[in-house]
């Protein structure tokens, strides 16, 4: 989840008459987790579905609502203007077809505001922009740009001075030499043409979604802003712009429209949507009995406008709240406005009889039997390594199931056997006193349309007198007492076990596993200094058979 750093004193200024404590007490009830606090600074985790909480302006709006200082929807006041036009050339339609924009004037931009804008931009890029793929934002100094603009394409040797540079650089070099070029260049594909925003003097304004021109950089001297959003989906680009516009308006800017024409593009509307919700759905879902006026006041605290219409509450959802899909989202907004802390938990008596799954029951009874036989239960990961599963134990690794890009070398493949993990456990415990007797039941995986999962049962015993007879007695008793079945053992060979001390375990003449003395070479591999005997059988193929589907 994204994190934003805020200052209590700045929040206090933005929210109105509140104490620091009121703010810190209220933040969690907006769905914001306080990650850490240090005097005036507070780091807050917000949900990716609420990008408006990426700045203190957005959080202040939320707090005002929750604390009852200002309620109801924030309306975007956009002055219609004919001074700002972007015309879109048809050639962008294959690469990054949509552009939209807004003008923000006469705001005060201090260092903190710039920092907040940049964080918001980054978070929007990452979250709803899907790492700039779906949409990306450029924020510019309006006074350095001469309108109208064109959104067009250029070839890769087009030169301009990009942000953080002093000389003209061809686009092909920006893509190779800068971090943003390397990170986002691939979004443009192999095409020889790339998107570009040019102003009326032919100057480059932006090379989306990679980098802006240096000349339009926003500083504390900037008074007026031009914000553009480009993307591959018109709605996404407008959603993103609506968040920025709302934040800029809260930051004190007055907004003016940008007229967009050409190639499927048109000027954005930023209208609020009407969405209605039945009050009985709200009450039924929350377990409350709220009258319509109360529901409306709750919604207003969540900064939405609402009015009643029969049994329904009609809500007007501002453009920047695109996380609201349907009526259930409004139910949540009512809950937040009501205050989660005001919802009293209730316990309705259960009308159902609970039961443990029969397989879990069987396995539990097997656990008990093994403990009675003096075996300690081990738990190992089902994701393990080739070293433990195959290399150390001499097993065939041709049907290995790997995961992609594991961050841990010790967890790269799914186990098809439990015994190697137990041997690894012995190896890690050679300094502990013997005898060491352990067992494990767990899931093993095999490739089979596409994957079969079975439950295996394995046990090992390690001490200076460990022998075949002992381990066969254990397995025989466990299955006999645990499941009332009799096993037989038939001479066989297995790469993990010592020749002449190894057998296939049969149940009703069907092989279900292997038992024997672990090969001395393998014992050596694991640096174990005493003989080890063990077994592994499939419970899915024997005692659980009738219980599994």
Partner 1 sequence: MSQVFHEIEKKIITSLRDTSKQTPASLEKSTQLSPDQIRRGIEWLRLKELAIVNESKSSVISLGKNGIESFEKGLPERRLLNLLKNGPKKLSDLQKELGFVFGPSMGLARKNNWVEASNDQINLKNSPSELPGEKTLKLIGNGKLSKDKVDVDDLSTLLKRPDFIIEDVLKTQEITLSDSAKSIILSDSTGGIDVEAKVPEIFVARTHPLKDTIDEIREIFVTLGFSEILGNMTQSSFWNFDSLFTPQDHPARELQDTFYLDKINAKKIGTPEQIRKVSESHKKNWRYQWDINEARKMVLRTHTTCVTIKHLAEQKPDEARIFSLGRVFRNEKVSYKHLVEFNQIEGVVVGKDANLRNLMGIQREFYKRIGITKIKFWPTFFPYTEPSLQTMVYNEKLGKWIELFGMGIFRPEVTKPLGITKPVLAWGGGIERIAMLKYDLDDVREFYNNNLGWLRSTTKCQ
Radius of gyration of the chain (CA): 33
Residue among 255 and 330 whose Cβ is closer to partner 1: 330
Q: Which residues contact 473 (CB under 8 A, 6 or more apart)?
A: none
**Minimum Å distance from CB 334 to partner 1?**
9
Residue found under tokens 């038939």: 490
**Minimum Å distance from CB 181 to partner 1?**
22
Residue among 82 and 357 whose Cβ is closer to partner 1: 357
CB 543 within 8 A of CB 485: yes
Residue among 270 and 375 whose Cβ is closer to partner 1: 375
**Minimum Å distance from CB 45 to partner 1?**
10
Tokens of 419: 């015994």
- The sign of the dihedral angle between the CA atoms of 427, 431, 436, 438 is negative
Cα–Cα distance for residue pair 496/107, rounded to 1 Å: 75
Residue among 169 and 290 whose Cβ is closer to partner 1: 290
**Minimum Å distance from CB 162 to partner 1?**
27
Residue among 222 and 302 whose Cβ is closer to partner 1: 302
Q: Helix 292-301 vs helix 56-66: angle between axes, to the nearest 10 degrees? A: 150
**CA contacts within 13 A on the Cβ side of 478:** 31
Residue among 137 and 331 whose Cβ is closer to partner 1: 331
- Burial of 539 (C-beta count, 10 Å sphere; 0-12/13-18/19+): buried
Residue among 181 and 231 whose Cβ is closer to partner 1: 231
Q: Which residues contact 244 (CB under 8 A, 6 or more apart)?
A: 102, 120, 121, 124, 137, 139, 227, 229
Cα–Cα distance for residue pair 119/257, rounded to 1 Å: 24
Residue among 188 and 225 whose Cβ is closer to partner 1: 188
DSSP code at position 349: P
Cα–Cα distance for residue pair 361/455, rounded to 1 Å: 13
**Minimum Å distance from CB 326 to partner 1?**
6
End-to-end distance of the chain based on CA atoms, in angstroms? 39
Per DSSP, the three-state class of 36 is strand
- Burial of 454 (C-beta count, 10 Å sphere; 0-12/13-18/19+): middle
**Minimum Å distance from CB 87 to partner 1?**
25
Residue among 367 and 541 whose Cβ is closer to partner 1: 367
**Minimum Å distance from CB 284 to partner 1?**
6
Cβ of 399: how many Cβ atoms within 10 Å?
10
DSSP code at position 450: S
CB 351 within 8 A of CB 384: no
Residue among 77 and 404 whose Cβ is closer to partner 1: 404
**Minimum Å distance from CB 454 to partner 1?**
11
Q: Which residues contact 494 (CB under 8 A, 6 or more apart)?
A: 502, 514, 516
Q: Which residues contact 314 (CB under 8 A, 6 or more apart)?
A: 274, 275, 276, 306, 307, 308
Residue among 161 and 383 whose Cβ is closer to partner 1: 383
**Minimum Å distance from CB 402 to partner 1?**
4
**Minimum Å distance from CB 485 to partner 1?**
22
**Minimum Å distance from CB 160 to partner 1?**
31
């Amino acid at each position: 989840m994204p994190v934003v750093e805020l200052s209590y004193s700045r929040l206090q200024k933005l929210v109105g008459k509140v104490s620091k404590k009121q703010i810190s007490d209220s933040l969690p009830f907006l769905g914001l987790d306080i990650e850490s606090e240090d005097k005036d600074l507070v780091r807050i985790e917000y949900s990716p579905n609420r990008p408006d909480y990426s700045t203190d302006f957005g959080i202040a709006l939320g707090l005002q609502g929750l604390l009852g200082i200002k309620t109801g929807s924030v309306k975007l006041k956009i002055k219609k203007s004919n001074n700002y036009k972007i015309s879109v050339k048809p050639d962008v339609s294959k690469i990054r077809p949509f552009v939209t924009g807004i003008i923000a004037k006469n705001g005060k931009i201090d260092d903190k505001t710039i920092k907040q804008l940049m964080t918001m931009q980054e978070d929007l890029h990452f979250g709803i922009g899907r790492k700039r793929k779906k949409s990306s934002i450029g924020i510019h100094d309006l006074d350095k740009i001469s309108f109208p603009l064109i959104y067009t394409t250029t070839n890769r040797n087009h030169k301009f001075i990009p942000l953080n540079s002093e000389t003209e650089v061809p686009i092909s070099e920006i893509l190779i030499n800068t971090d943003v070029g390397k990170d986002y260049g691939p979004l443009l594909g192999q095409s020889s043409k790339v998107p570009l925003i040019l102003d009326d003097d032919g100057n480059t304004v932006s090379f989306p979604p990679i980098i802006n021109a240096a000349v339009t950089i926003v500083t504390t001297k900037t008074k007026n802003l031009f914000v553009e959003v480009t993307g591959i989906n018109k709605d996404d680009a407008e959603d993103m712009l609506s968040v920025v516009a709302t934040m800029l308006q809260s930051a004190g800017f007055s907004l003016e429209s940008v007229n967009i024409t050409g190639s499927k593009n048109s000027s954005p509307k930023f209208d609020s949507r009407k969405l209605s919700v039945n009050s009985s759905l709200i009450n039924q879902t929350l377990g409350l009995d709220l009258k319509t006026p109360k529901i409306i006041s709750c919604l207003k605290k969540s900064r939405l406008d609402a009015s009643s219409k029969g049994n329904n509450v009609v809500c007007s959802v501002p453009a920047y709240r695109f996380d609201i899909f349907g009526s259930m989202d409004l139910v949540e907004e009512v809950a937040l406005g009501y205050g989660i802390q005001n919802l009293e938990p209730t316990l309705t008596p259960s009308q159902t009889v609970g039961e443990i799954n029969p397989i879990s029951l069987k396995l539990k009874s097997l656990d008990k039997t093994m403990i009675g036989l003096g075996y300690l239960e081990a738990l190992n990961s089902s994701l393990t390594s080739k070293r433990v599963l195959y290399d150390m134990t001499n097993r065939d690794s041709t049907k290995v199931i790997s995961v992609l890009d594991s961050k841990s070398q010790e967890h790269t493949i799914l186990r098809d056997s439990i015994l190697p993990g137990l041997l690894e456990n012995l190896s890690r415990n050679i300094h502990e006193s013997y005898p060491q007797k352990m067992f494990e039941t767990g899931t093993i995986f095999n490739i089979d349309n596409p994957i079969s999962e079975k439950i295996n049962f394995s046990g090992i015993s390690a001490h200076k007198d460990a022998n075949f007879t002992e381990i066969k007695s254990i397995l025989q008793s466990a299955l006999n007492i645990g499941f009332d079945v009799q096993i037989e053992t038939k001479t066989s060979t297995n790469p993990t076990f010592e020749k002449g001390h190894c057998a296939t375990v049969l149940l009703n003449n069907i092989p279900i596993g292997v038992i024997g003395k672990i090969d001395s070479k393998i014992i050596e591999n694991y640096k174990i200094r005493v003989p080890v005997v063990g077994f592994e059988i499939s419970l899915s193929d024997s005692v659980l058979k009738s219980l599994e589907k």
